[in-house]
Amino acid sequence: MHSRVPMVTVLALMALMPLFSGAVDIRQLRQLTAKHNVTCVLVFGDSSVDPGNNNRLPTTVKGNFPPYGKDFFDRRPTGRFSNGRLATDFIAEAIGYTKIIPAFLDPNLKPTDLLHGVSFASAASGYDDLTANLSQVLPVSKQLEYLKHYKLHLSRLVGVKKAQNIVNNAIFLLSMGTNDFLQNYYLEPNRPKQFNVEQYQNFLASRMFEDIKEMNRLGATRVVVVGVPPLGCMPLVRTLAGQNTCVESYNQAAWSFNAKIKEKLAILKKTIGIKDAYVDCYGVIQNAINNPKKFGFVETSKGCCGSGTIEYGDTCKGMTTCADPSKYAFWDAVHPTEKMYRILADEAIASLDGALID
């Protein structure tokens, strides 16, 4: 069995350089990280971090067909809602152990893959269980149930004590919230009858708080939460609002919710002593939209798939795409390109620096 390639010093070093700049020899990085003890990354959330779990579910929310995966290994559509890899895949590559984080429900998953980290995420899910139920995908409660299955499989592979050690020293990453607003609150009648926007943000933040407490009960000691992106800048939202610019009210809802996430993380740190980090997804994407040339982008208001204004998921199926996705911030009308995910991974690694060191 390979020894683990821990993460913390990688994070400290990578934060000081562009991701995959080649400035540091990977073997040297591994030597520097050998004495640290982070074991793997376990992922929960929505389409931003789902590598294909939805392929196995009775839902229409899937991305396992072309042109998705156009720039993935072997040009293969895996269920990732992008042209290539997700931010979590790049984080895994930075650790140096595996180039991708696989879906836990992938039928081709090998027992040894469990050691490298897996994703339980399900596209169209959210902190609100109703959000997942609307699309027949995995709510966080079900994702956590699969975490228990993961622990059982891991125990059979390496023994109970080692399995518990792997979970205790893993980084738990959560990335969701977008669908709670776009597919639920702003679209469906139930939640707006119960909550105004701020009350709904408080409800979602309290759900996240309880989810992380449950993760802690199941062994989590290090948690990374990815904030919600600027929802009003998504091409689909602009199109539906009839605007060329970002929709400010949606951005404000996302920004305010992110502030509540950070407040809850501070409380969790004080009350249960969990180590946590926050990834400013909002700031990164906003920065790329406001300063496209700095990141090598030419188009940040439209996606690469089809017209780039309305297509995502099923409606992107079989569509023609732009010539060079690396010049685009968005792959479809909702989801980022692999290039944008690479930039987000860079930010995630920088955010982890210091926050998770023992």
> Is 224:144 a contact under the CB 8 Å cutoff?
no
Kindly indicate the confidence band of residue 353, based on its pLDDT and cuts at 50, 70 and 90: low
Q: Above 80 in pLDDT, residue 4?
A: no
- Categorize the per-residue pLDDT at 144 as very low, low, confident or very high, splitting at 50, 70 and 90: very high
Spatial separation of the C-alpha atoms in residues 347 and 281, rounded to whole Å: 8
Active-site position among 50, 89, 332, 346: 332
pLDDT reported for residue 34: 46
| Selected residue with higher pLDDT from 6 and 118 | 118
**113 given a catalytic annotation:** no
Q: Is the pLDDT of residue 352 over 80?
A: no
Active-site residue 324, yes or no? no
**Any idea which of 4-8, 108-112, 258-262, 288-292 has the lowest mean pLDDT?**
4-8
- Tens of pLDDT, residue by residue over 17-29, are 333 333 333 343 3
Taken as a whole, the chain contains a residue count of: 358
Taking domain 26-230+242-281, whether its CATH number is 3.40.50 is answered by yes
Q: What is the DSSP string of 251-267?
A: HHHHHHHHHHHHHHHHH
Alpha carbons 322 and 306: distance in angstroms, whole number? 8
Is the pLDDT assigned to residue 14 strictly greater than 70?
A: no
- Give one DSSP letter per residue of 125-162, joined into a string: --SSHHHHHHHT---HHHHHHHHHHHHHHHHHHH-HHH
% of the chain with per-residue pLDDT over 70: 88
Q: What mean pLDDT is predicted for residues 252-256? A: 98
Catalytic residue, from 47, 82, 135, 301: name it: 47
Q: Say whether the peptide bond before residue 51 is cis (omega within 30 degrees of 0).
A: no
Active-site residue flag, 47? yes
**Catalytic one among 119, 211, 301, 335?**
335
CA distance 50 to 124: 10
Give the mean pLDDT of 223-248. Answer: 97
204, 127 contact by CB (below 8 A):
yes
Across all residues in the chain, what is the average pLDDT?
A: 89
> What CA–CA distances, in Å, run from 141 to 9, 10, 195?
32, 32, 22
